[in-house]
């Protein structure tokens, strides 16, 4: 019998991809849609390349796998997360060099709640048991998450900045290359260039420096109205893993993980509060328009 959590995750990723594809087509046509799809391709390639490079984790058996090793849903997940966080940072008033850092930190807000629950559902396995470092997740995983999103974001922003035909169509291909090279290089750095006893300090130190730099530029977030999917992508992933964790009972032996999940959901709601309030206001206006008595 198919695993219900695997199938529901596949379905969630397809729904989020459809939402992002609809926005991309409406916002920029085929060129913008190509940027989204490039993120998905990048996600699949980075996972395959990382598995070949490090042999540090393995995936469960999802319905659709690339080369029998990488679930297609995981590549889609990378694509939609990167697409949504870039929309968020693009709408912020901040220097261009800081936007990829914000992108990486926004993605970490999702992974801090997701990864430890996912391994308990059998989505992937780090082979270290459930009590290793961060609820069974090695600390360098969070280093990798930051650099994955940062590298692709830098490549996409840099190579498509001119707005020309060539940058629109060749730029995303270049971003895939920049992203994969960046991921493999930073993987190599943390595993071979940093002594095992110092990895956690390097990981958390790097992330704190990135957070400090983003805070130092005093970004004005939500400067313009954002599309609803910027809220729905992180919210749906947070709620999915929170619900799956509750239904599967994985929080019973690790109650602090439940608190972390709730805290990351609360942070996402705070970050996207203006978008959520706008959506609620629009729904209320539509309801009032439907229930208002006719004039005359």
Q: Is 295 a domain residue?
A: no
At residue 137, the 3 state secondary structure works out as strand
Q: Is 270 a domain residue?
A: yes
Per-residue pLDDT of the chain (296 residues; tens, 9 = 90+): 568 999 999 999 999 999 999 999 999 999 999 999 999 999 999 999 999 999 999 999 998 999 889 999 999 999 999 999 999 999 999 999 999 999 999 999 999 999 999 999 999 999 999 999 999 999 999 999 999 999 999 999 999 998 888 899 999 999 999 999 999 999 999 999 999 889 999 999 999 999 999 999 999 988 778 899 999 999 999 999 999 999 999 999 999 999 999 999 999 999 998 888 887 776 656 655 555 566 54
Q: Is 280 a domain residue?
A: no
| pTM, to two decimals | 0.93
Q: Is 194 a domain residue?
A: yes
DSSP category for residue 196 = G
Q: Is 45 a domain residue?
A: yes
CA angle 260, 101, 231 (to 5 degrees): 55
* The token pair that represents 101 in the structure block: 């850092």
Q: Is 294 a domain residue?
A: no
Task: Kindly give, in sequence order, each residue whose CB lies less than 8 Å from that of residue 89, ignoring residues fewer than 6 positions away.
Answer: 99, 100, 102, 103, 106, 153
At residue 210, the 3 state secondary structure works out as helix
Domain ranges, residue 57: 4-274
Instruction: Give CA–CA dist 114/13, Å, rounded.
Output: 14
Cβ–Cβ < 8 Å for 257, 245: yes
Total tally of structural domains belonging to the chain? 1
Q: Is 289 a domain residue?
A: no
């Amino acid at each position: 019998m198919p695993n219900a959590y695997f199938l529901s995750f596949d379905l969630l990723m397809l729904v989020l991809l459809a939402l992002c594809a609809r926005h991309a087509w409406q916002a920029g046509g085929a060129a913008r849609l190509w940027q989204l799809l490039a993120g998905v391709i990048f996600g699949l390639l980075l996972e395959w390349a990382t598995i070949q490079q490090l042999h540090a984790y393995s995936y469960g058996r999802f319905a659709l796998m690339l080369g029998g090793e990488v679930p297609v849903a995981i590549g889609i997940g990378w694509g939609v997360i990167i697409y949504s966080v870039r929309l968020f940072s693009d709408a912020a008033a901040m220097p261009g060099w800081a936007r990829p850092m914000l992108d990486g930190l926004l993605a970490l807000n999702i992974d801090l709640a997701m990864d430890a629950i996912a391994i308990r559902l059998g989505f992937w396995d780090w082979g270290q048991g459930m009590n290793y470092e961060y609820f069974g997740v090695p600390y360098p995983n969070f280093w990798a998450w930051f650099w994955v999103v940062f590298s692709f974001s830098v490549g996409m922003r840099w190579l498509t900045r001119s707005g020309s035909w060539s940058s629109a169509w060749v730029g995303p291909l270049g971003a895939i290359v920049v992203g994969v090279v960046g991921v493999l290089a930073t993987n190599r750095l943390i595993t071979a260039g940093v002594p095992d006893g110092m990895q956690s300090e390097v990981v958390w130190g790097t992330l704190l420096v990135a957070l400090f730099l983003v805070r130092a530029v005093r970004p004005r977030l939500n400067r313009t109205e954002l599309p609803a999917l910027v809220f729905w992508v992180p919210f749906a992933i947070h709620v999915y893993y929170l619900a799956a964790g509750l239904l599967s009972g994985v929080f019973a032996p690790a109650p602090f993980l439940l608190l972390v999940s709730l805290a990351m959901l609360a942070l996402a709601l705070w970050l996207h509060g203006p978008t959520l309030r706008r959506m609620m206001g629009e729904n209320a206006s539509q309801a009032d328009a439907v229930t208002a008595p006719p004039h005359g």
